[in-house]
A and B are shown apart, each in its own frame.
Chain A
Amino acid sequence: MRITSFMIFNQLASALQKNMEDFTKLNSQLASGKRIEKPSDDVIGMMRSLDYRLSISTTEQYKRNIAEATFHLKFTDDVLDSVADSLQELKKLLSMGGNAQSQENRFFYAEQAAKWRDLLLGLSNTKLRERYIFSGHQTNQKAFTYDSTAYRYNYNGDLGEINVLLDTEATLPLNITGSKAFSFAMNGPLPTELSDGTPINYTQSTDPLTGITTTTVEIGSAGDPEYDTFTFSNLLDMTNVLSFAFEYKDVDGSDLNADPAIQEEMAMHRLMALSVPFADASNQITNIQAEIGTKQVHLNDQKTRIDSSALNLTNALSETEDADIDTTLTEILKTDTALQALRESASRILSQSLMDFLK
């Protein structure tokens, strides 16, 4: 083949160009640490890495949701710890005040019970950030408020569950409703007579809209002078009845009976009648705390699973799009050597000309 100056020059120019191009590309891979710098570098790899990155971002969100739910449940659990402690103290009061006592003692117990009642009210209206945690969906309302005309504590919340996404499909409620934590239905056979033989009857009815169970207690037979009835629908009501019973009074502040002897008997009956629901209330709280514990274990498992899948995704992402530094550096050295050799040979070929040898 006939070779001309232009051909040599052209070939050299394009070889230099190609080398510099490789050089730049490798250099920019090294600078960014990425093998794929635009979709066309590796379309399939790019799609995979996009997929990985979006999955990582979604997974991070699930992790945030789980952290939020865990925090919320832990917070609720702490509040319920205090509720359980209060109930423990109330049960002590109940057993200590179960006998006829001096008026001074009774008033002291009444005062104690009222304090626990107010503490429970405070606990039931615990707020986390802007949210009353026991109000179901009605998170801007206090869960329980005192109705001073009916002398009762009313539930203002509902049965709403605040679910969070733990995965594409799985959801978990992060709240415990007030009706579940502070109101309950007694299970199992209920006593039909008190220890002194007085007949007793517990009637329970649950409101399907709020989940609040109202219990009506009837003591004695209708028509008896010491016949007594009272109702409660939550722990606060129970404690309220208890507090007033220590003073031989009904919740509206009136005496239970005009006759002091009957009054005392009725109050004692009330205290005896309350011991069953108080015991059940403790169980109820324990059950809820167990349920929270199960949820926390579930969240923890989910978190572990998500963490490991996030790690896998991150590894896969790095494998797909990251440049292998060693290989890139080796490639750069190779390109550099080739470039130097090219320059050297070019300088020799280009400087050769017949003209130099003619005189």
Chain B
Amino acid sequence: MSLFGLFDIAKSAIFASQTALSVTSHNIANVNTPGFNRREALFAVNSVALSGNLFGSGVTITGIKRYYDQFIQTQLLGQYQNYGKSSALNQTLSQIEQIFNEAKNIGLAVPLTDFFNAWQEVATNPESFVQRNGLLLKANSLVLAAKQMDRGITENLESINETIDNVAMRVNAIASDIAAINGKIPLDESGSQGATAHDLRDQRDVLMNELATLVDFSSYADENGLITITVGMRNLVSGETSNSLSTRNNEEGDKDLYLDGINITENVRKGQLGGLISVRDTIRTNSLNDLRRLTASLIQEINMLHRSGYGLDGTTDNDFFSPLQLSTRDFSSGADMTATITDPDQLTLDEYSIQFDASGNYLVYNKQNGALVTSGPYVSGDPISFDGIEIVVTGAVTPADKFTVSPLADVIKNFEVAIADRQKIAAASSNTALPGDNSNALLIAQLSQNAIANLGGATFSSYYGGLVSTIGSMSRAASDSFTFDDNLLSELNTKRESLSGVSLDEEAANLIRFQRSFEAGAKMIQVTDELLQTLLNL
């Protein structure tokens, strides 16, 4: 063993310390980088090349360790999906809740009560124009309030659809980034033996975390470290290629998600997208529909009584609100349909779909409960009547054709006070008892306390109360589960941080430690040099 061997050992010590110092400074530099996993240089005794070398040949760095727990990362991915969903639900529902915020007198309750109170005022002074004007004003405020709510909800639904579009675009951007990283990882890792592309993997984890807040997916890595991501059982990312998520309008005009040409809307349940889709569908089929049903039954009941009464000018059979209209939608290739209300009093305020079977029969279903309303052999141009509605379908039909009829779809859009002339307000039940007869006005005023068959036996205000409480409960549940998911997420992040995060104190200690070992290595060179000098001076 020559003295020069000492140089080698000292050199290995200096190199190792320097590498360790680089790792430490990388850690310190990235203390605030999200998703960064701390590193540690792994020291090992340098392998001995020659036999008989008893004291070894210094130190070497065998690798850089990345503190990373796959288990925590998998849990985090799952939790990000829950978090994304509850945050979307919480945000959207708290906005929609404001439309029904009866705590601040926003909503229908007050205008509805005022409207019926105004009828009582008319009943007290049936011949006076002052009270009649008051009634028309209150009726118009009721109409306005209903329209504002309807618009508020539809605007929210539209903005949800826009957000779905934007989120889908972000999903696509992330997917292509992940695919690009997927492409780089094997290149980086194949270069040197045993090396791993830590920074790329960290970066990919951050992207996947973000993706998880947007949409629920499952992922698996192959032996080369390439990750495949599937959304709704279709591939979003596979290896270096990514598919793009697209949106298309469905029957209701809402956005459906398509991946790889397949509608995956049903299978997206978590993440922001899952949350948005679920809240959108719930609000559309429940709250919006209930609000429209309430309005429709108000129109139906008030008009029914109003038509039977007499105005000051002796006219009768006048509608108070513009009569209900049917909205139809045509999902057929060759056939056409017209629908008319034959008896507004018989309407059940349900929506119907008209379909056809292979043996040439028409089938009318109730859209809400799916029950078959009526059916029979289809003859082009023959009227089909049910529940106060008459429809006429003309042309050739196929089992793929479908029509829908709804008295609700545009009910608030068409909601207007039909009475322009206050004389026509029918306070009287008989045209011989004008103008002092108030019995019809009394009947209408008492309607506010009556159980309404088309509202399932509820009164107008209790039905509306149910609507508000449903929204309130939904919003409450969303905010509770958001708090829960947020806590759980930060708990998991703490767990990850505890393992993978950078501790500045720890790094400071390491800094000193490796500085000292660097200095000691340098000292060794100096000592060796002095030893050589001693020898040379002999």
- Across chains A and B, the number of contacting residue pairs, with CB separation under 8 Å, is 180
Q: Report whether B503 and A5 are in contact in the complex, using a CB–CB cutoff of 8 Å.
A: yes
Q: Interface residues of A toward B: which range?
A: 35 or more
CB-defined interface of B436-477 with A at 8 Å, one 1/0 digit per residue?
111100100110110000000000010001001101110110
Residues of B within 8 A of A34 (CB): 103
Could you say which residues of chain A place their CB within 8 Å of the CB of B473?
Answer: 40, 43
Q: How far is the CB of B283 from chain A (nearest CB, A)?
A: 14
Q: How far is the CA of A53 from the CA of B108 in the complex (A)?
A: 13
Within 8 A of B (CB), among A1-24: 1-7, 10-11, 14
A321 touches B (CB below 8 Å)? yes
Contact indicator A354/B509 (Cβ below 8 Å): yes
Whether a CB of chain B sits under 8 angstroms from the CB of A214 is no
A304 within 8 A of B: no
Q: Distance in Å from the Cβ of A138 to the closest Cβ of chain B? A: 6
CB < 8 Å neighbour of A354 from B93, B104, B123, B504:
B504
Is B311 close to A, CB under 8 A?
no
Chain A residue nearest to B471 (CB atoms) is A39
Complex contacts, B233 vs chain A, CB 8 Å: none
Whether A36 touches B103, Cβ cut-off 8 Å, given contacts A57-B110, A163-B438, is yes
- B517 shortest CB reach to chain A, Å: 16
Q: Are B471 and A5 in contact (CB under 8 A)?
A: no
From B124, B436, B469, B506, A160 is in contact (CB under 8 Å) with: B436
CB pair B498–A1 under 8 Å, yes or no, is yes
Q: Does B338 contact A (CB under 8 A)?
A: no
Check if B472 sits within 8 Å of A46, measured CB to CB. yes
Partner of B123, one of A138, A163, A175: A163
Binding-face segment, A128-136, A275-283, A291-299: A128-136
Residues on B with C-beta less than 8 A from A2 are 498-499, 503
Q: A4-B497, A49-B103, A140-B127 are in contact. Are A39 and B97 (CB under 8 A)?
A: yes
User: What is the size, in residues, of chain B's interface with A at 8 Å between Cβ atoms?
Assistant: 65
Give chain A nearest CB distance to B507 CB in angstroms.
9
Residue from A4, A165, A321 in contact with B502 in the complex, judged by beta carbons closer than 8 Å: A4
Interface hit among A58-66, A79-87, A95-103, A305-313: A58-66
Cross-interface CB contact of A6 among B103, B434, B501, cutoff 8 Å: B501
Closest Cβ of chain B: how far from A89's Cβ, in Å? 31
Residues on A with C-beta less than 8 A from B476 are 39-40, 43
Complex Cα–Cα for A84 and B121 (A): 32
A164 is an interface residue with CB less than 8 A from chain B: yes
If A37-B103, A40-B97 touch, whether A165 touches B465 (CB-CB below 8 Å) is no
Q: Does B128 contact A (CB under 8 A)?
A: yes
B473-527 with Cβ < 8 A to chain A: 473, 475-476, 479, 490, 493-494, 497-499, 501-506, 508-509, 511-512
Task: Return chain A residues, CB-CB under 8 Å to B162.
Answer: none
User: Across the interface, do B101 and A3 meet the contact criterion of CB distance under 8 Å?
Assistant: no
Which residue from B435, B442, B503 sits with its C-beta under 8 Å from A139?
A: B435
Q: Give A53 to B112 CA distance when docked, in angstroms.
A: 12
Bitwise interface map of A from 65 to 78 toward B, beta carbon under 8 Å scored 1, else 0: 10011000000000
Whether A40 pairs with B475 at a CB distance below 8 angstroms is yes
Known: A50-B102, A358-B508. A6 touches B127 (CB 8 A): no
A338 on the B face (CB < 8 A):
no
Is there contact, CB below 8 Å, between B472 and A40? yes
**A158–B433 contact, CB under 8 A?**
yes
Determine whether the beta carbon of B436 is less than 8 Å from that of A6: no
Give the residue name and chain of the A residue nearest to B472 (CB): A39
Query: Quick check: is A51 within 8 A (CB to CB) of the other chain?
Result: yes
Task: Please report the C-alpha to C-alpha distance between residue A38 and residue B94 in the assembled complex, in whole angstroms.
Answer: 9
Given A40-B476, A57-B114, A358-B512, verify A136-B436 contact (CB < 8 Å): yes
Residue B47 is within 8 A (CB to CB) of chain A in the complex: no
Residues in B with CB closer than 8 Å to A41 are 103
Inter-chain contact B497/A139, CB cutoff 8 Å? no
Which of A46, A50, A58 sits near B117, CB closer than 8 Å?
A58
Could you say which of B435, B442, B468, B501 contacts A140, with CB atoms under 8 Å apart?
Answer: B435
Bound-state Cα–Cα, A46 to B465, Å: 9
In A166-190, the 8 Å CB interface with B consists of 168, 171, 174-175
Q: Cβ of A354 and Cβ of B508 under 8 Å apart?
A: yes
Give bound CA distance, A158 to B445, whole Å. 24
B32 interface residue (CB < 8 Å to A): yes
Query: Whole-angstrom distance between the alpha carbons of A160 and B434 in the complex?
Result: 10
How many Å from the CB of A56 to the closest CB on chain B? 10
Partner of A54, one of B101, B109, B433, B479: B109
Q: Let me know if B508 and A353 touch, CB within 8 A.
A: yes
Q: Which of A6, A39, A58, A174 has a CB less than 8 Å from the CB of B113?
A: A58
Interface residues of B in 404-444 (CB under 8 A from A): 428, 432-439, 442
- Can you list 24 A-B pairs with a CB-CB distance of less than 8 A? A1-B498, A4-B498, A7-B501, A10-B497, A11-B494, A38-B104, A38-B472, A39-B471, A40-B473, A46-B472, A51-B465, A57-B113, A60-B117, A131-B128, A136-B436, A138-B434, A139-B435, A139-B436, A140-B127, A140-B434, A140-B436, A165-B442, A165-B445, A355-B508
A-B residue pairs, 3 tightest by C-beta: A39-B472, A4-B501, A137-B436
Write the residues of chain B forming the contact surface with A, with a CB cutoff of 8 angstroms.
Answer: 31-32, 93-94, 97-98, 100-104, 109-110, 113-114, 116-117, 120-121, 123-128, 428, 432-439, 442, 445-446, 448-449, 461, 465, 468-469, 471-473, 475-476, 479, 490, 493-494, 497-499, 501-506, 508-509, 511-512
